[in-house]
Structure 1
Amino acid sequence: MSFSLPFKYITAEELAGWIKSKPSSELKELAVVDVRDSDFVGGNIVSAMNYPSDTFHATVDELVKKLANVPKVVFHCALSQARGPKAARIYAETRNHQLSNPSTAQEIYVLREGFSGFQAKYRHDPELIEKFNKYYHD
């Protein structure tokens, strides 16, 4: 029996390219969902929505509705080893259950190396990272 994940992995470079290729007014094609909890302080990817993992089950229905017509959704946590992939799986399962015939096909991704990897490369780029405070990351 083989098991396939309901998401793909994306690198920091790929995500940075997607974000930079779209004017902020057109970011409706891409949603970034940050599932960090109290570790969300100290910076985030520009336009990321914070849906903390500790309350994710309670808010995932709302998130599925909110992102129903967004073609690409990227999940991440600090390292994207546990919380990010788990949230992406829960989101995919909820979306499949809620939207039996979705009007928009959606690709679901998990950011490889999470926010830690992303900020290490792009912390000085205001097009990619906002509210950055190195106190939380060094």
Structure 2
Amino acid sequence: MSSVPVFAEPEELYALVLDTTKQPGKDYVIVDVRDADFKGGHIPGAVNVLASEMYDKANDLIREYANVPQVYFHCALSQVRGPKSARIYCETMNNLGIETDQKVKILRNGFEGWHTKYRKQEGLIEDYDKSVWEWAIEEQ
């Protein structure tokens, strides 16, 4: 079955991240395609693959995570880079002829939505640098 990316609500990923019986990289993988802002904080266990490098890195991602049941892509807002990266991943998998039940998803509202919703909860943002996000906190 060919994969086609679909949107996932943050609550779905939230439940996975908090589930201590699930391991990132084994039960699910989060692919954060942001650039420099990844260093300001990211979802626990996320791997950073720049959207601009997705065509070059898709084969490696597929090789490493083909047996992971769920792959979540996101960027800052999941409006352009996240969905495009998920599409490239799926197209590459289809072009390689890989048959899988893997679910490829795009985190709705991206990291900014995650940050807005979960920044006050311990353990939901790794490597958090508040100074990077002061503008977002001030707007709320």
Q: TM-score, normalised by structure 1?
A: 0.87
Deviation at 1:125, TM superposition (A): 2.8
Q: Residues 51 and 119 of structure 1: is their aligned pair in 2 closer, same or farther, counting only changes over 3 Å?
A: same
Whole-Å separation in 1 of the counterparts to 2:99 and 2:14:
31
Write the distance in 2 (CA, Å) between the matches of 1:54 and 1:111: 18
Aligned residues: 131
Matched, 1:117 2:127: no
Write the distance in 1 (CA, Å) between the matches of 2:130 and 2:97: 41
Task: Report % sequence identity.
Answer: 40
Aligned runs of 1:40-119 on 2, under 5 Å?
40-102=38-100, 105-119=101-115
What CA deviation, in whole Å up to 9, does each residue of 1:20-54 have, x standing for no partner? Answer: 12436x33111000000122120000000000112
RMSD: 1.6
Separation of aligned partners in 2, 1:75 and 1:33: 5
Q: Provide the rounded CA distance (Å) in 2 between the counterparts of 1:41 and 1:100.
A: 33
Please state if 1:18 is matched with 2:16: yes
Report deviation, 1:94.
Answer: 0.5
Is the partner of 2:76 in helix, strand or coil? coil
Distance 2:13 2:128 in 1: 18
The whole-number CA distance in structure 1 between the counterparts of 2:46 and 2:74 is 10
Q: List alignment gaps of at least 5 residues for structure 1.
A: none
Alignment gaps of 5+ in structure 2: 135-140
Matched to 2:15, the amino acid is G
Compute the displacement of 1:77 (Å): 0.2
- Residues 99/128 of structure 1: CA separation in 2 closer, same or farther (3 Å cut): farther
